[in-house]
Structure 1
Amino acid sequence: MGPTDEAALELVRQLKVNAQLQQAWTTHLWQTQNGLHPASAWLLAELAQLGESRPSELAKRRMVDVSVVSRQVAQLTAAGLIERRPAPEDGRAALIRVSERGEEELLHWRRQYTDFLTDALADWAPGELDALTERLKMANESLRGTLAKRTNPR
Protein backbone atom coordinates (compact mmCIF):
# COMPACT_ATOMS: atom_id res chain seq x y z
CA MET A 1 0.00 0.00 0.00
CA GLY A 2 2.80 2.45 0.84
CA PRO A 3 2.85 5.70 2.75
CA THR A 4 0.23 8.42 2.47
CA ASP A 5 1.15 11.61 0.65
CA GLU A 6 1.28 13.49 3.96
CA ALA A 7 3.52 10.86 5.58
CA ALA A 8 5.87 10.98 2.58
CA LEU A 9 6.00 14.78 2.71
CA GLU A 10 6.68 14.75 6.46
CA LEU A 11 9.54 12.31 5.91
CA VAL A 12 10.98 14.64 3.25
CA ARG A 13 10.68 17.60 5.65
CA GLN A 14 12.43 15.73 8.46
CA LEU A 15 15.19 14.43 6.20
CA LYS A 16 15.74 17.96 4.93
CA VAL A 17 16.00 19.33 8.47
CA ASN A 18 18.39 16.52 9.36
CA ALA A 19 20.56 17.29 6.34
CA GLN A 20 20.57 21.00 7.24
CA LEU A 21 21.64 20.24 10.81
CA GLN A 22 24.41 17.94 9.62
CA GLN A 23 25.50 20.55 7.10
CA ALA A 24 25.63 23.22 9.79
CA TRP A 25 27.82 21.06 12.05
CA THR A 26 30.08 19.97 9.19
CA THR A 27 30.43 23.56 8.01
CA HIS A 28 31.39 24.62 11.51
CA LEU A 29 34.01 21.88 11.83
CA TRP A 30 35.62 22.12 8.42
CA GLN A 31 35.55 25.84 7.87
CA THR A 32 36.75 26.78 11.33
CA GLN A 33 39.45 24.11 11.47
CA ASN A 34 40.48 23.49 7.86
CA GLY A 35 38.98 26.28 5.76
CA LEU A 36 37.39 23.66 3.50
CA HIS A 37 33.93 23.55 1.99
CA PRO A 38 31.79 20.85 3.65
CA ALA A 39 31.18 19.12 0.29
CA SER A 40 34.93 18.54 0.05
CA ALA A 41 34.91 17.05 3.53
CA TRP A 42 32.15 14.63 2.55
CA LEU A 43 34.06 13.69 -0.61
CA LEU A 44 37.15 12.98 1.49
CA ALA A 45 35.12 10.75 3.82
CA GLU A 46 33.54 8.92 0.88
CA LEU A 47 36.93 8.42 -0.77
CA ALA A 48 38.32 6.96 2.47
CA GLN A 49 35.43 4.49 2.53
CA LEU A 50 35.71 3.51 -1.16
CA GLY A 51 39.48 3.52 -1.53
CA GLU A 52 41.45 4.75 -4.51
CA SER A 53 39.05 5.92 -7.23
CA ARG A 54 38.75 7.95 -10.40
CA PRO A 55 37.10 11.35 -9.97
CA SER A 56 34.61 10.35 -12.68
CA GLU A 57 33.55 7.32 -10.60
CA LEU A 58 33.02 9.54 -7.56
CA ALA A 59 30.98 12.00 -9.63
CA LYS A 60 28.77 9.20 -10.92
CA ARG A 61 28.29 7.82 -7.41
CA ARG A 62 27.43 11.27 -6.03
CA MET A 63 25.22 12.03 -9.04
CA VAL A 64 27.02 15.29 -9.87
CA ASP A 65 28.99 16.55 -12.83
CA VAL A 66 32.67 15.58 -12.84
CA SER A 67 33.59 19.30 -12.77
CA VAL A 68 32.08 19.51 -9.27
CA VAL A 69 34.25 16.65 -8.04
CA SER A 70 37.27 18.11 -9.85
CA ARG A 71 36.97 21.37 -7.89
CA GLN A 72 36.70 19.46 -4.63
CA VAL A 73 39.67 17.26 -5.56
CA ALA A 74 41.73 20.37 -6.33
CA GLN A 75 40.84 21.86 -2.93
CA LEU A 76 41.66 18.62 -1.10
CA THR A 77 44.93 18.17 -3.02
CA ALA A 78 46.02 21.73 -2.22
CA ALA A 79 45.30 21.05 1.47
CA GLY A 80 47.42 17.88 1.32
CA LEU A 81 44.46 15.66 2.20
CA ILE A 82 44.46 13.53 -0.95
CA GLU A 83 47.06 12.28 -3.40
CA ARG A 84 46.68 11.69 -7.12
CA ARG A 85 48.51 9.51 -9.57
CA PRO A 86 48.04 8.59 -13.22
CA ALA A 87 45.82 5.56 -13.82
CA PRO A 88 48.06 2.70 -14.98
CA GLU A 89 45.75 1.67 -17.84
CA ASP A 90 45.25 5.26 -19.07
CA GLY A 91 47.81 7.90 -18.08
CA ARG A 92 45.38 10.68 -19.02
CA ALA A 93 43.03 9.63 -16.21
CA ALA A 94 43.84 10.15 -12.54
CA LEU A 95 43.37 7.95 -9.51
CA ILE A 96 42.97 9.67 -6.17
CA ARG A 97 43.27 8.41 -2.61
CA VAL A 98 43.26 9.86 0.87
CA SER A 99 46.73 10.90 2.04
CA GLU A 100 48.15 10.10 5.45
CA ARG A 101 47.37 13.65 6.56
CA GLY A 102 43.84 13.23 5.17
CA GLU A 103 43.38 10.06 7.23
CA GLU A 104 44.49 11.93 10.35
CA GLU A 105 42.06 14.78 9.64
CA LEU A 106 39.23 12.32 9.04
CA LEU A 107 39.90 10.57 12.35
CA HIS A 108 39.86 13.93 14.14
CA TRP A 109 36.66 14.97 12.33
CA ARG A 110 34.96 11.62 13.01
CA ARG A 111 35.77 11.88 16.71
CA GLN A 112 34.21 15.34 16.88
CA TYR A 113 31.20 14.26 14.84
CA THR A 114 30.53 11.14 16.91
CA ASP A 115 30.91 13.19 20.10
CA PHE A 116 28.31 15.61 18.70
CA LEU A 117 25.88 12.78 17.87
CA THR A 118 26.50 10.93 21.14
CA ASP A 119 25.76 14.10 23.07
CA ALA A 120 22.66 14.90 20.99
CA LEU A 121 21.22 11.37 21.32
CA ALA A 122 22.27 10.66 24.90
CA ASP A 123 18.69 10.15 26.08
CA TRP A 124 17.77 7.60 23.38
CA ALA A 125 17.03 4.06 24.53
CA PRO A 126 19.52 1.33 23.55
CA GLY A 127 18.83 0.02 20.06
CA GLU A 128 16.86 3.05 18.87
CA LEU A 129 19.78 4.47 16.90
CA ASP A 130 20.51 1.08 15.31
CA ALA A 131 16.86 0.69 14.32
CA LEU A 132 16.73 4.20 12.81
CA THR A 133 19.97 3.60 10.94
CA GLU A 134 18.70 0.35 9.43
CA ARG A 135 15.43 1.96 8.34
CA LEU A 136 17.29 4.88 6.76
CA LYS A 137 19.55 2.45 4.88
CA MET A 138 16.46 0.71 3.54
CA ALA A 139 14.86 4.03 2.58
CA ASN A 140 18.05 5.20 0.84
CA GLU A 141 18.29 1.96 -1.14
CA SER A 142 14.66 2.33 -2.23
CA LEU A 143 15.13 6.01 -3.12
CA ARG A 144 18.33 5.27 -5.07
CA GLY A 145 16.61 2.47 -7.01
CA THR A 146 13.56 4.57 -7.85
CA LEU A 147 15.74 7.52 -8.85
CA ALA A 148 17.76 5.29 -11.17
CA LYS A 149 14.58 3.91 -12.79
CA ARG A 150 13.10 7.36 -13.32
CA THR A 151 16.25 9.12 -14.53
CA ASN A 152 17.63 6.28 -16.68
CA PRO A 153 14.65 4.77 -18.50
CA ARG A 154 15.53 1.86 -20.78
Structure 2
Amino acid sequence: MSTSIDWSRLEEIVERAVRKARAEELRDVAEAVKMLAEYMKSGFEKMLERIEGVERRLETIESILLDHGKRLEAVKKTLLEYGRRLEDHSKILQEHSKRLEEYSRRLEEHSRRIEDLTKVVQEHSKRLEELSRRIEEMNKVLIEHS
Protein backbone atom coordinates (compact mmCIF):
# COMPACT_ATOMS: atom_id res chain seq x y z
CA MET A 1 0.00 0.00 0.00
CA SER A 2 1.23 3.06 -0.93
CA THR A 3 0.22 6.12 0.71
CA SER A 4 0.89 9.26 -0.85
CA ILE A 5 0.72 12.52 0.99
CA ASP A 6 -0.82 15.33 -0.86
CA TRP A 7 1.53 18.05 0.33
CA SER A 8 -0.42 20.84 -1.19
CA ARG A 9 -3.58 19.60 0.46
CA LEU A 10 -1.72 19.29 3.78
CA GLU A 11 -0.32 22.77 3.33
CA GLU A 12 -3.79 24.09 2.65
CA ILE A 13 -5.20 22.37 5.78
CA VAL A 14 -2.36 23.73 7.93
CA GLU A 15 -2.86 27.24 6.54
CA ARG A 16 -6.59 27.03 7.29
CA ALA A 17 -5.84 25.80 10.81
CA VAL A 18 -3.33 28.62 11.33
CA ARG A 19 -5.81 31.20 9.99
CA LYS A 20 -8.53 29.78 12.23
CA ALA A 21 -6.19 29.83 15.24
CA ARG A 22 -5.15 33.37 14.44
CA ALA A 23 -8.78 34.41 14.06
CA GLU A 24 -9.64 32.84 17.43
CA GLU A 25 -6.61 34.49 19.05
CA LEU A 26 -7.59 37.79 17.52
CA ARG A 27 -11.13 37.33 18.80
CA ASP A 28 -9.77 36.55 22.28
CA VAL A 29 -7.43 39.55 22.10
CA ALA A 30 -10.30 41.70 20.79
CA GLU A 31 -12.52 40.49 23.65
CA ALA A 32 -9.76 41.20 26.17
CA VAL A 33 -9.19 44.66 24.67
CA LYS A 34 -12.95 45.28 24.73
CA MET A 35 -13.16 44.23 28.41
CA LEU A 36 -10.14 46.38 29.23
CA ALA A 37 -11.70 49.33 27.38
CA GLU A 38 -15.00 48.88 29.25
CA TYR A 39 -13.16 48.63 32.57
CA MET A 40 -11.13 51.73 31.77
CA LYS A 41 -14.26 53.55 30.57
CA SER A 42 -16.14 52.79 33.80
CA GLY A 43 -13.04 53.82 35.80
CA PHE A 44 -12.74 57.05 33.84
CA GLU A 45 -16.47 57.73 34.26
CA LYS A 46 -16.18 57.23 38.03
CA MET A 47 -13.10 59.46 38.12
CA LEU A 48 -14.94 62.04 36.03
CA GLU A 49 -17.89 61.95 38.44
CA ARG A 50 -15.52 62.43 41.37
CA ILE A 51 -13.69 65.23 39.58
CA GLU A 52 -17.00 66.94 38.79
CA GLY A 53 -17.99 66.62 42.47
CA VAL A 54 -14.66 68.07 43.53
CA GLU A 55 -15.06 70.88 40.99
CA ARG A 56 -18.52 71.69 42.39
CA ARG A 57 -17.14 71.73 45.92
CA LEU A 58 -14.22 73.89 44.80
CA GLU A 59 -16.62 76.30 43.11
CA THR A 60 -18.64 76.47 46.33
CA ILE A 61 -15.50 77.02 48.39
CA GLU A 62 -14.28 79.64 45.91
CA SER A 63 -17.62 81.43 46.16
CA ILE A 64 -17.45 81.32 49.96
CA LEU A 65 -13.86 82.60 49.90
CA LEU A 66 -14.83 85.46 47.58
CA ASP A 67 -17.72 86.36 49.87
CA HIS A 68 -15.45 86.21 52.92
CA GLY A 69 -12.89 88.32 51.07
CA LYS A 70 -15.52 90.99 50.43
CA ARG A 71 -16.64 90.86 54.06
CA LEU A 72 -13.05 91.04 55.23
CA GLU A 73 -12.46 94.08 53.03
CA ALA A 74 -15.55 95.75 54.50
CA VAL A 75 -14.36 94.96 58.04
CA LYS A 76 -10.93 96.33 57.14
CA LYS A 77 -12.46 99.59 55.89
CA THR A 78 -14.59 99.83 59.03
CA LEU A 79 -11.56 99.23 61.25
CA LEU A 80 -9.59 101.89 59.38
CA GLU A 81 -12.46 104.33 59.87
CA TYR A 82 -12.65 103.44 63.57
CA GLY A 83 -8.89 103.89 63.78
CA ARG A 84 -9.17 107.39 62.29
CA ARG A 85 -12.01 108.23 64.66
CA LEU A 86 -9.99 106.92 67.59
CA GLU A 87 -7.05 109.12 66.57
CA ASP A 88 -9.39 112.13 66.31
CA HIS A 89 -10.90 111.37 69.71
CA SER A 90 -7.44 110.87 71.19
CA LYS A 91 -6.41 114.32 69.95
CA ILE A 92 -9.61 115.83 71.35
CA LEU A 93 -9.01 114.00 74.64
CA GLN A 94 -5.47 115.40 74.82
CA GLU A 95 -6.82 118.88 74.17
CA HIS A 96 -9.49 118.43 76.84
CA SER A 97 -6.90 117.07 79.26
CA LYS A 98 -4.77 120.18 78.72
CA ARG A 99 -7.81 122.39 79.27
CA LEU A 100 -8.74 120.43 82.38
CA GLU A 101 -5.22 120.88 83.73
CA GLU A 102 -5.44 124.62 83.02
CA TYR A 103 -8.87 124.83 84.67
CA SER A 104 -7.61 122.84 87.65
CA ARG A 105 -4.65 125.21 87.99
CA ARG A 106 -6.99 128.21 87.79
CA LEU A 107 -9.35 126.60 90.29
CA GLU A 108 -6.43 126.16 92.69
CA GLU A 109 -5.48 129.81 92.22
CA HIS A 110 -9.08 130.90 92.77
CA SER A 111 -9.35 128.63 95.81
CA ARG A 112 -6.22 130.20 97.30
CA ARG A 113 -7.53 133.65 96.45
CA ILE A 114 -10.88 132.80 98.05
CA GLU A 115 -9.05 131.54 101.16
CA ASP A 116 -7.06 134.77 101.29
CA LEU A 117 -10.18 136.87 100.78
CA THR A 118 -12.04 134.80 103.37
CA LYS A 119 -9.28 135.58 105.86
CA VAL A 120 -9.50 139.27 104.97
CA VAL A 121 -13.31 139.18 105.31
CA GLN A 122 -12.96 137.45 108.68
CA GLU A 123 -10.49 140.09 109.81
CA HIS A 124 -12.81 142.82 108.56
CA SER A 125 -15.73 141.15 110.28
CA LYS A 126 -13.79 141.10 113.55
CA ARG A 127 -12.78 144.68 113.05
CA LEU A 128 -16.37 145.59 112.16
CA GLU A 129 -17.63 143.83 115.28
CA GLU A 130 -15.11 145.72 117.34
CA LEU A 131 -16.12 148.98 115.72
CA SER A 132 -19.79 148.15 116.16
CA ARG A 133 -19.21 147.49 119.88
CA ARG A 134 -17.27 150.71 120.21
CA ILE A 135 -20.02 152.60 118.44
CA GLU A 136 -22.56 151.07 120.79
CA GLU A 137 -20.43 151.96 123.75
CA MET A 138 -20.02 155.46 122.44
CA ASN A 139 -23.72 155.64 121.86
CA LYS A 140 -24.32 154.61 125.43
CA VAL A 141 -21.84 157.16 126.64
CA LEU A 142 -23.46 159.78 124.49
CA ILE A 143 -26.86 158.88 125.76
CA GLU A 144 -25.59 159.03 129.30
CA HIS A 145 -24.09 162.49 128.75
CA SER A 146 -26.93 163.95 127.04
Q: What TM-score comes out, normalization by structure 2 length?
A: 0.20
Specify the structure having the higher radius of gyration (Cα).
2
Specify which structure has the higher proportion of strand. Answer: 1
Specify which structure has the higher proportion of helix. Answer: 2
Q: RCO higher in 1 or 2 (8 Å CA, sep ≥ 6)? A: 1
Q: What TM-score comes out, normalization by structure 1 length?
A: 0.19
